[in-house]
Chains A and B, each alone.
Chain A
Amino acid sequence: MLDAIAFYTLAALILAFAIAVITARNPVHSVVFLVINFLAVAIVYIVLGAEFLAMIQVLVYAGGIVVLYLFVVMLVNLKRGPEAHQDPRRQTGAGVGLAVAVLAELTAILAYTGRNPLPAVVPAASARGPGGNTEQLGWLLYTTYLIPFEVASMLLLVAMIGAIVLARKVD
């Protein structure tokens, strides 16, 4: 019961701030709302008993990545407010298409997991007890999910090298 109240309150907060992110006129305000949104997600993790994930969420997303967003937004929009585009509805078609695609994907995932429930080992996040889930999460990452983990890190490495190559001055 208490869990449900916490979850729905947080979900409402997350949704409200997510909407605020995309409706705010000022990009810096958008970024601030995004931070609050991420913090609320972190609290959801804590409610689920995944304190490690929660802290990483705050540390990496709210603390690290969004500061970089802020950095860019602050530099780009120094004085000028965002100008109204000639045709503000130019992206409506693409937006609707994307939304439908995401909806289809979510429905497919829900339908799939509905028929094939995930194995019981997976929710490491729900493991409670002394030491918390940090150890279990690390263990799972380096055993069961080693290949996805390594693929993700390779992807990040490639992206990093790509960024460096793009940013490097041509001699």
Chain B
Amino acid sequence: MSAYFIAHFLLIFLVFNMLVMSAAFMVWMERKVCAYIQDRVGPNRVGVEGLLQPFADVLKLLMKEELRPKAADAFLFTIAPIVSAAAAFTAFSVIPFGSETTLFGLLDRPLPLEVTDVNVAVLVIFAITSMGVYGIVLAGWSSNSKYSLLGGLRSSAQMISYELSYGLALAAVIVLGGSLSLRELVLNQTGYWFHVIPRWYIFLQPLGFLIYLTAGVAETNRAPFDFPEAEQELVAGYHTEYSSMSFAMFFLAEYINMVTVSAVATSLYLGGWLGPILPSWLGWLWFLLKVLLLLFFYVWMRWTLPRYRYDQLMEFGWKWLLPAAVVNLIATAALVLWIG
């Protein structure tokens, strides 16, 4: 049991709990931002400014009865939310959120601030996200309800369609950075152009960033692409039949997926933990700030834009976003080859 091992273990524990906390915080932020956008006050009774509201919600959900439709497929109905939540948590494990640290000389070798450093991190995230679809699809099917089934089908169709653009946008960054490791990709963005503009990939890949953000919204099933749970048509989509904690797990997975998508965007396009002013050991503050801004953007968008129509979503994904992503990738590859 070296100090390094203990520190690493504590780091994993911390990351896991921070993810849960971030979901709670996101619920609060969503309700607050939504309220202010709609000229209301929002939750303000539980805790300061309603900050404890999410905890009250979780307590309420825990107390509720766990219901399962009689005709549901018991096994799949039970594991579907687990698959969703597990995939959401796992994806974050390869995201670096700070430079290496020895905790002020406490450790014998520097500990990178991430759960694990994998040399194919981008692919790992991508692969695990694609596993998350199963939670939703299986929930939709096993509930044995038409609303759930349609929600699940829509979700899988949407995620498959947008995964392509999402992957192609990421591929352009990989071509630029010449690595599949997130840590290396972030470190490649060190430094400034003309001493002012940070060398972030967003300035080299503005189109790629937009494609990534759009596809990311569709991947996380958020408004304006929240068809899997379009209330007017599908009641609550794939989790119509879920109650209590299993519903909460889907909820948790959705918010953690948002955090992961934002964290990946931060690492790939916004220079990760790199930033001016702060010393490098406080870089994780920059990371948090950037992720927070992206998350705010998501919430802001949800309460500003109306939902698309389903056929519009498919048409946009296949006829506009995908070609744009392909052109972006080819142009990037050509430029990289040309400049060397």
With A28-B141, A32-B76, A134-B120: A67-B134 Cβ-Cβ less than 8 Å: yes
Report if A63 contacts B (CB, 8 A): yes
Report if B182 contacts A (CB, 8 A): no
Please determine whether B156 and A58 come into contact, CB atoms closer than 8 angstroms.
no
Q: Complex formed: what's the CA distance from A75 to B152 in Å? A: 11
B107-142: which residues lie under 8 A (CB-CB) from chain A?
Answer: 118-120, 123-124, 126-128, 130-131, 133-134, 137-138, 140-142
Q: Complex formed: what's the CA distance from A64 to B137 in Å? A: 13
Inter-chain CB contacts under 8 Å: number = 74
Per-position 1/0 for B60-93, Cβ under 8 A of A: 0000000000000100100000000000000000
Across the interface, B130 reaches (CB within 8 A) one of A58, A70, A74, A75, namely: A58
Please determine whether B120 and A67 come into contact, CB atoms closer than 8 angstroms.
no
**Residues on B with beta carbons closer than 8 Å to the beta carbon of A130:** 119
Please determine whether A75 and B153 come into contact, CB atoms closer than 8 angstroms.
yes
With A64-B160, A71-B153, A71-B156: A52-B120 Cβ-Cβ less than 8 Å: yes
Q: Complex formed: what's the CA distance from A68 to B62 in Å? A: 35
| Residue tally, chain B, CB below 8 Å to A | 29
Q: Complex formed: what's the CA distance from A132 to B181 in Å? A: 10
Please determine whether A28 and B76 come into contact, CB atoms closer than 8 angstroms.
yes
Per-position 1/0 for A3-25, Cβ under 8 A of B: 00000000000000000000000
A64 to chain B: closest CB distance in Å?
A: 7
Per-position 1/0 for B136-161, Cβ under 8 A of A: 01101110000001001100110110
With A32-B76, A51-B120, A75-B153: A68-B141 Cβ-Cβ less than 8 Å: no
* Chain B residue at minimal CB-CB distance from A129: B119
Please determine whether B153 and A63 come into contact, CB atoms closer than 8 angstroms.
no
Report if B185 contacts A (CB, 8 A): no
Main secondary structure of the interface of B (DSSP, over half): helix
Report if A131 contacts B (CB, 8 A): yes
Please determine whether A62 and B130 come into contact, CB atoms closer than 8 angstroms.
yes
Please determine whether B73 and A28 come into contact, CB atoms closer than 8 angstroms.
yes
**Residues on A with beta carbons closer than 8 Å to the beta carbon of B73:** 26, 28
A75 to chain B: closest CB distance in Å?
A: 7
Q: Complex formed: what's the CA distance from A26 to B278 in Å? A: 57
B39 to chain A: closest CB distance in Å?
A: 42
With A52-B123, A71-B156, A71-B157: A58-B138 Cβ-Cβ less than 8 Å: no
Report if A152 contacts B (CB, 8 A): no
Please determine whether A67 and B127 come into contact, CB atoms closer than 8 angstroms.
no
Per-position 1/0 for A135-156, Cβ under 8 A of B: 0000000000000000000000
Please determine whether A131 and B119 come into contact, CB atoms closer than 8 angstroms.
yes
Please determine whether A70 and B156 come into contact, CB atoms closer than 8 angstroms.
yes
Please determine whether A74 and B137 come into contact, CB atoms closer than 8 angstroms.
yes
Please determine whether B131 and A51 come into contact, CB atoms closer than 8 angstroms.
no
Across the interface, B127 reaches (CB within 8 A) one of A58, A78, A134, namely: A58
Report if A55 contacts B (CB, 8 A): yes
Pairs A–B under 8 Å by Cβ, sample size 30: A28-B138, A32-B134, A51-B119, A51-B120, A52-B120, A52-B180, A55-B124, A56-B123, A58-B128, A58-B130, A59-B123, A59-B130, A63-B133, A64-B130, A64-B160, A67-B130, A67-B137, A70-B137, A70-B141, A71-B137, A74-B137, A74-B140, A74-B141, A74-B149, A74-B152, A78-B149, A132-B120, A132-B180, A134-B119, A134-B180
The chain A residues found within 8 Å of chain B, CB to CB, are 26, 28-29, 32, 35, 51-52, 55-56, 58-59, 62-64, 67-68, 70-71, 74-75, 78, 130-132, 134
